[in-house]
Amino acid sequence: MLPDTHAHLDMIEEDTGQVVERARSAGVGPIITIGINIESTTRAIAAAESYPGVFASAGIHPNDTAEVTADDIDRLAGLAASERVVAVGETGLDFYRDASPHEAQKNAFREQVRLAKSLGKALIVHDREAHDDALDLLADERAGDTTVVMHCFSGDESVLSECLARGYYISFAGPVTFKNAERTREVASRVPVSRLLAETDSPFLSPEPFRGRPNLPERVTLVARALAGVWRMDPEEMGLILEENAGRAFGLGLGGAAR
């Protein structure tokens, strides 16, 4: 089975059970459904408790950090301790939209790095137009003491080199399939296959030929196929590699939360 390591099941305007079943029929699973604030994290955990093969992350997205309080961080910590939660995040920095003050983003990011480390769970990082600041904060907080996943990677070769030197996982989504995304595919070709992950970011970032339409977890197969093309590898072989990598990064199939 091919994992979708990053989806927002609560944002998909279809019945969650049907979405999960269609993904399973397409050979896709497990699915990690992502929390972006306290409410969506609660929904993510509920989905993980309701549907076999669905796991959750617990996080506060940088665009949702403007009014985050210490109580919010405490509530997040309680949610993140669930055995159905395999990661902390989606957290990080987004200087593209500037929906939240930069300092508020950094403070929430810092707290979530510390939470991931304290729980021994993976950290899912959103980094948009904030590469230097994100990497500096990750270094300052010794984030490499736990597993770090760079979600929907958008950095250049220099950012990639630094991430790889630190042992981070690099995750690609639908944009790697876009016809005008030669740069993204070139970056993907420089990632050791042992560090590659595939995701959909559903319902966003639909791969070709569904670009512009709401995305679904089942379409992670198209992302995997694009990565196989980059590496001139049989898609089935790439799928097995991505499955192994996700298992290692998130503890899927290794007992504990993945049961």
First-to-last CA distance in the chain?
16
Q: What is the pTM of this model?
A: 0.96
Selection from 98, 97, 92, 87 nearest residue 60 by Cα? 92
Three-state secondary structure string covering 122-136: EEEEEEECCHHHHHH
Span 15-23, mean pLDDT?
98
Q: What is the mean pLDDT of the chain?
A: 96
Q: DSSP secondary-structure letter at 34?
A: P
Residue 246, token pair as written in the block: 């996700």
- CA dihedral sign of residues 248, 253, 254, 256: positive
Predicted confidence (pLDDT) per residue in 125-179, tens digit: 999 999 999 999 999 999 999 999 999 999 999 999 999 999 999 999 999 999 9
Domain boundaries, the chain: 2-258
Reply yes or no on domain 2-258 having CATH 3.20.20.140.
Answer: yes
What type of residue sits at position 178? F
Q: Could you read off the pLDDT of 149-158 as tens digits, one per residue? A: 999 999 999 9
pLDDT at 258: 39
Q: What percent of the chain is modeled with pLDDT above 90?
A: 96
- Helices 102-119, 70-80: axis angle to 10 degrees equals 30
3-state DSSP assignment of residue 65? coil
Could you please report the per-residue DSSP string of 120-181? Answer: T-EEEEEEES-HHHHHHHHHHTTGGGS-EEETT----HHHHHHHHHTT-EEEE-GGGGSTT-
